[in-house]
Amino acid sequence: MIDPLQLTAGLHANNPITDDDMFDSDDASAASAHGDADTTNEEESPLSAALDDLESRVVSALNEFKSHPGRASHGQSIHEELQSVLRPVVEVSAHIGPASARAVHASYPDVYGLEFCVDAVYTRINSELILPVLLESAQSEMIPAKRAASLRMFHVLYGEWSAPGSYLDGGAVTSSLGPYGTDQSPLVGLTEHERNRRIGMRSLRRSELLRRWVQASIPNLSPGTFTSSTLDLVAAGRGVLSASAALKPCLRYIAERIGEADDAGALRLFLPVMRMIEGVLGRLFLEGEGSDGGSEQENDALKSSCIKFLEIVVLCFSNKALPGMAGGGQVASRMKRDASQANDFSLEDLPPGHPIITRESLEEIGEYAFSTLRGLVVLGGQAKIDTNLLLDAAASASSTKDFMGGGTSPFQKILAIIKPAALTFQKIESDGEKASEDKDSFVLDRSLIKLDFYLSQKSYSLSINAIQMLATKRPLFFKEASTCLARRTMDPPGGLSGDAEGLLSKAAITGIRTHLRSSCLTLLRHIFSVTSGCWEILVKALNLSGMDAQAERALQASRQQLDLMKGGRAARTRAAIFYEWDQSTDLSRAEKRQRDTDDAEARVRAAKIARGLGAGVQLPKSMSDSCELVLLNLKHLPTKRPPIASSAQRKRPVTLDALVDAVMTNGASLSVDENHWYDRDGGDAWTIEEGELDNDGRQQLMYQCKKIETETFIKQSKVAASKAFSRVLLSTSSNRSEAATSLGSQLAARLAWMLQGVEPSSDIKDAHATALMSIGNGPMGSDVSVQFAKENPLVSSCIAHDMIPPQQKGELGSLSAASETSGLSTRVLNEAFVCSLSEEVEDLSRKKQYAQCLDLYVASVVNACANANAVPSDYEKKRIANSASSSLPHQLLISPSVTPSSLNLVGSLCDIEEVSKKAVKTSKQSIAESAAAHAAKTAAEKRATTALLVLRDVAFQRDRMRGSAIGCAVAIAAGRLPASLPIQDKALKLVMNVIFQKNSDCAGKVIESATRELELATQISIENHEKIVKANEVTSTKREKQGSSSKIQSIPQSEEERTVLESVKKPVVLFMALCVRRPEIIKVIMEMSCRDGADVMAKAVKANMPKLAKAASVKHGAASIALKVADMSSDRETPLLLSFLDNLAPATEKALPSQDLINACHEIQRNRSLGETKDSRYIIPVVSGMKRVELQDALPDFVRDSDETFKASLRRMSERLSRYAMIFRDEPDPNEPTLRGMSSCEQIVNLHRLDFNAVGLPQKRYLDAIRLCLEDDEVFNDRVIQAALDYISGKFLEGETLPLAYMRTIILTCSKHESLHSWICHVLLPRLVEGKVYSDKRQWEGWMRCAKMLENTGDQGVSSMEAIARLPPDQLKIYRTKYPR
C-alpha cells in the first residue's frame, strides 16, 4: 500500500504539470489565503484529528485505486468498478470535507474560525492530495481504464463542487451558503470584506480545478501516449471526451475573469485551453487515415469524438443571432432563453477589452471550423490538404509573436491546423460552383478528389447532426448549413446506385441518405428557412429525393409559424383553439370506432348462439345429451332442404332419423350427394346375391351395382378410400389418447403405401399441394421426385401433414390445439425402408422409394422454414418451421438410413440470406415490422444452426455417410452452398474445431472435402480467366484516362474479378486453416494457385497469406515452417513461397525477425540458388533484423539483382528505422557490431562507398542503383539526400576520400531538389573546397560543373559565388578559364 506521506511528498517533488511558472500564482493564493491559526497543538487539535481522518479515507481509496489491476472482477464493467472505488474520494472532497469543517467550527467557535477551517480542509484534502493524485494518474497512468477514470473524476468533481453546500456553490457569492453553510455568529449577514473574500476564494478554487482538468486532458491528446496503437486510440478518445466537457466551463470562467478586469488570470487558463483545442484538432486533421493503427472501430470512435468537439468549438466561437433579422426580437429572446437552459456559451458572453483574447480571433477559428464541418459532410471525409497550404500556415504560425514579443500566438497554432483543411474544401466548393450552371446545383468529380480519411456511418451521422444543430442554434450559419445538406442530399453518398463507398457499406449508405433527407426536412420546418431564403434549395433537394408532399407540408408549417410569430395575440389564440377542437374531434372519432367494434362483436356472438347448427355447436358425449340437443334445436330446422348436385330431388321425408343425422354430422347430412353411395343408406346403390359354395363350405357373395357403371364404381371406391384415409389421418392429430394416435399413425402409414394412385380428399389436399411445392421449390426438384409424389399422393400427404397450418387440415384437424410432429413420418419412412429390403424381382422398383421418401420429408421441412422466412409476421408458420426443424435431428437419428441427397437438403436450411436482409431496419418499416423481421432472422439462424448440428451428428454416428455429411458442412463453410455469413462462420468453426478434432478419419475426410472445394474454386478461376483479363484491360484504360490507376496488386481491378475473387476466397481461407494443422498440404494450395489461368486464385492466396504465415509460425515456429514450405515448393511456386516468407517476418516496429528465421532464409537462399549467383529475394523478408555489417556485405547482391528486388530490399532494410531516416548511426562498439537494419541515410552512404570493381559489379549498374534511389523521392526525399551528402562530406574533412559517384549525385540532386540549392551553395561546396576537393581530378571536374550550375540560378540569395570565391588563386584561375563569366 502507498503511505500517505510518501504519496503527497512524491507528488510535490515530481509534479507532472508542465507549466508550473504559469500556474504558481493562483495555486499559491488558493493554498495560503486563509489566516494564521492559533498556537493550538496540531497533534491534539480537533481540526488536525478531523483532517487526519479525512486524509486517511481519501488515501485508502486512492491506494485501492492505485493498486487496482485494471481488470473487472465483480461482474461489472471496469469503468463502473473504478467509479465505485473513487466514490469515497468524491464524497470527502465535495461534501464530507466542508461538512467536517463546519462541524469543527460549530464545536469550537472561539478557537477555529469558519473560513479558516474550510480553507484548511480544502488545502490539505483537495489542493495537496486529491487533485495532484488525479492529475498524476491522468497524465502518466499506464492502464487506460484507470487513466480514463482519473479524467472523468475532474468532471465529476466539478459537478459535485457546484452542488449546494460545496466549494463552487453559487450561493456563496451572495450569501453565507456554499461550503460555509449557515453562519451561527450573532452578526446578521456578511461584511463587504468577507463577501469579497469568499467570492475570491470560490474563483481561485474554480480556477485550480479547471486548470488541473485541462492539464490532465492535454497529454492524452498527444500521439504516442502508449506504444500500443489500440491503447493510444483509447486514451486519445478519453482525452477528447474530457476536453469536450471542460471547454465550456473554462470559457465561462475566462469570460468572468475578463469581465472583472483580471486579464492575467484569464490568460493563465486560456493558453492551456488553446493547447487542448490544438491537440484535439491535431488528432482529427493531422493524423490521417489509419496512421495510429488500431482497429477501424477504434479509429472511428476517436474521429467521432473529435467531430463532436469540433461542433462545440463552432458553437462557442460564434454569435447567437443575427441583428436585424425578421422577427429578430422574439427569436433572439427565445434563443437566449433556450441557451441559458442548455448552459450555452457564445461570443456575446465574452466581454471585450482583453489585449489577446478577442472575439475576432475566436470568431475566425469558429468560421474555419464550420467550413471543415461542411467539408466533412459534402465530401464524406477530409480532403487531402495541399502541402503549400500547410507550409504557408506553418510559416505564418512560426512568424507570429505573442503579446510579450516572443513565441507564437495561441491562435495561430490552431489556425495552422484548421485553416488549410477549411481552405482546401472552400477551393473544392468554389470549383464545383463554377462548373455548375444553376446556383443551386453543385458539380463535383469525386474521382479526382483525394481524401486524407473517410467517415464511417457513426462519424458521418455526427457531422450531419452538428451541421443541423448549428443551423438552428446559430442563425449566422443557417443558410450555409442548409445549402451544404441540400447539396449533399442531391448528390448523396453512393451515387445513383447507392453502392458501398469508402468506409460506408450499402446499408450505411441508405442510413446516411435517410439522415440527410430528414435533416433537410427539419431545417425546412424552421422559420429561418423562410427568413433566410434558403427554402428553395431545400425544397429542390427533397423533391429530387421523392419527398414532394413532405416538403410542401414542412414549408407550409414554417410559413405559418412565422406568420403567427409576426401576428398579434388574437391570431395565436385562434390557432390554439383550433388545435384544441382538433384534438377533441380525434378523441370522439376514436370513441365512436371503439363502440362500433364492440357492437359488431356482440352481434357476432348473438348470431352464433342463435344459429344452433353449424359453427358453435359442440357435440355432446352421451346419448341422453344428444336427444336433449335434438329436441332443443327442432325449431332451428330449415323449411326447405338444401339443393343437391343431381337434378333429381331425393324424396326423403324429414323424420327423426334425418334430424339425428343432421345433429350428429354437424349438418353434413343435409347436403348428401345422391351419387355417393358410400354415405348413409349406401346399400341402395348395389345388390347382394348369394353365389356357389366353395370347397371349404363357404358361400361367396356377389355385388352388383344398380344405378352406376363399373368405372364409376371404381372411381367412387377410390374417393371413398380417400375420405376414409383422411378421417384416419386427421384423427391422429385430434385424438387425445396416445394409444389411439399411435394406432391411427400405423394404419395411415400402411394405407398410404397400399392405396397407390388414390388422390387425397379435400380435407388433406393442402398437404399434398405442400409436398409438391416442396419438391418444386427445393433443390431436389427432379422429375423422379415429382413422379414419386404423384404416384404416391397419400404418402406425400402424410409426410407434409405436419407442415401446414391447422386451419388447412380440415375440420377434425382443426380441433387440435397444437400440431406437434407425431410419429407419422417415422412410420411412413419405416414402411418405405421395409419395402426397399424386399428381394423379389417385382419389388426392385421400390428399392429407391425410401430415399425418395426421405428426400421428400426433408424437403417438406425446408419448405416450411422457407415459408416462415418469407412471411416474418406469420406466427403460425414460424411455429411450424421451428417444430419441424427441431424434430429433424431426432427423425434422422432414428431413421434406418440417410442418403447424400437428404444431407444436401439439410444443408439448404442454411440459406437464410434473404431473411437476414429483411432484418435490416429501413425507413419504410414500422417498429412492429422491424421487430418481426429481427425475430424471424433469429429463428432462421437457430434453424440453420440445427442443420449444422444434424450434419455433425451424422458425421459422428453414421460411418457410411460421414464423407457426405462432412462434405456438405465443408461446402457451407467454403461458400459453395448458400448460407449467411454468421452461419458460414459457424460452419467453419464446426469443421475446424469439432469435426477435424474428433479423430483421424474425420480429419482425413475434412481435408479431402476441402481439397475438392479448392479444386472447384481453381476451376472457376481458370474458366473466368479470359473474361477477367478483358474486363481488367477495360477498367485499366478508363483509370489511365482519369489518372487514378491503382498500384495495389491485391485489389481487384474490375467487378468481374471482384466477383470471382469473392467466390474463391472462402475455400482458400478454409484450406489455409487446415494447412496450419497439417503443414504438408500447403503444397496442394500452392500447386493449384500456380496453374495456368488461376491468377485470381493466386491473388486470393496472397491476400490471405499473412494469416497463414502468422498462425503457422506460432504453432510450428517461423524457421521450421519456412524450411518445410521451401522444401515442398517448386520453381513455379516461387512467388507464393516469397510471399509466405515475407509474411513470416514480424510486422511490428519493435519485433525483429529472430536469428533462427534469418538463418533459415539464408539456408533457403543457398539451396535454391543456381551456381554462385545468389537469389537475394529469399533474404529480403529478414533484412530488417540483420546486422548492418551483414547488410553491407550483401549490398552488392541486392544491387546486382533486378530493379524491383533492389528497391524492395531497401524498403525492408529501413522499414523499422523511420525515425532514423536522416541519421547515420554509429556503432556503440565497433569491435562488436549490434546495429540492425539500415536507415535511408545509411543506404545512400553505403551505396556510394561500394567498391564495384572489387565485387565484380559493372560501373553502369553501380551508377544506376544510385539513380534509382534519387528517383524514389517518397523514400529518399531531399532531407535524406542532404543528410547523406553531409555525412560523406564530413568524413571527407576527416581524411576519407570522396566516393566516385559523389559529385555526380550532387549534380543530380541540384537538378531534382531545388530546395537544396541554398545548402549546396553555402555549406556543401565551401566544405569541399576546405577539404581540397581539387586534389582529385574527377571530383574537381564535378565540383566545377556543379558550381557553374548554381552560379546564376536566378533565385535571390542562392548562388555558388561564395564557394567559388573561396578557391585558391590557381584553382580559381582554372575555373574561370573553363567557365568564364
387/1219: higher pLDDT: 1219
Asked if pLDDT for residue 1135 goes beyond 90, the answer is no
Q: What share of the chain is helix, strand, coil (3-state, %, to 5)?
A: 70, 0, 30
pLDDT, position 558: 86
pLDDT digits (tens, 9 = 90+) for 416-429: 888 888 888 888 88
Residue 1284 has pLDDT above 90, yes or no: yes
Separation of alpha carbons 210 and 265, rounded Å: 12
Q: What percent of the chain has pLDDT over 90?
A: 7
Find cell 421426385 and name the residue: 785
Q: Are 177 and 114 in contact (CB under 8 A)?
A: no
At residue 782, the pLDDT reads 44
User: Residue 713: pLDDT band by 50, 70, 90 thresholds?
Assistant: low
Q: 149-163, 183-197, 242-256: lowest mean pLDDT where?
A: 183-197
What gap in Å lies between CA 221 and CA 465, rounded to an integer? 24
Q: What is the pTM of this model?
A: 0.51
Q: What is the helix (H) or strand (E) element at residue 1128, kind and residue range?
A: helix 1118-1128
What own/partner pairs with CB < 8 Å and gap ≥ 24 does 900-903 have? 900/961, 900/964, 901/780, 901/851, 901/855, 902/851, 902/854, 902/855, 902/858, 903/951, 903/954, 903/961, 903/964, 903/965, 903/968
What pLDDT, on the 0 to 100 scale, is given for residue 419? 86
Q: What is the pLDDT of residue 1244?
A: 92
Picking from 217-221, 289-293, 795-799, 1021-1025, which range would have the lowest pLDDT averaged per residue?
289-293
Q: How far is CA 160 from CA 92, 118, 132, 149, 541, in A?
A: 11, 16, 18, 16, 47
- Cell numbers for 1227, please give them: 556503432
Say whether pLDDT at 212 is over 80.
yes
DSSP state of 223: T
Name, in order, each residue with C-beta under 8 angstroms of 612's C-beta and a sequence gap of 6 or more.
Answer: 632, 633, 636
The answer, yes or no, to whether residue 545 has pLDDT greater than 80, is: yes
Tens-digit pLDDT profile for residues 1288-1324: 999 888 888 999 899 999 999 998 888 899 899 989 9
User: What confidence tier does 880 reach under pLDDT thresholds 50, 70, 90?
Assistant: confident
**Cβ 473 vs Cβ 315: under 8 Å:** yes
pLDDT of 481 above 70: yes
How large is the average pLDDT for residues 707-730? 72
C-beta separation of 501 from 380 below 8 A: yes
Query: Smallest Cα–Cα separation from 1146: which of 1195, 1099, 1109?
Result: 1109
Beta-carbon count within 10 A of 1017 CB:
28
pLDDT of 584 reads 39
Grid cell of 377 as nine digits: 459532410
pLDDT category, 12, cuts 50, 70, 90? very low
The pLDDT of residue 1150: 67
Using pLDDT thresholds of 50, 70 and 90, give the confidence band for residue 1264.
very high
pLDDT classification of 719: cutoffs 50, 70, 90: confident
Of 358, 376, 233, 222, nearest to 308 (Cα)? 376
Question: Between the CA of residue 46 and those of 57, 103, 119, 183, 293, what are the distances in Å?
Answer: 17, 10, 15, 20, 56
Q: Report how far residue 685's alpha carbon sits from residue 722's, in angstroms, rounded to the nearest whole number.
A: 19
**Which set of grid coordinates corresponds to residue 1328?**
569541399
Q: Which residues pair with 1236 in a beta bridge?
A: 1187
What value does the mean pLDDT take over residues 1332-1361?
A: 85
Written as nine digits, the cell of 96 is 464530507
Average pLDDT, the chain: 77
Per-residue pLDDT, 924: 61
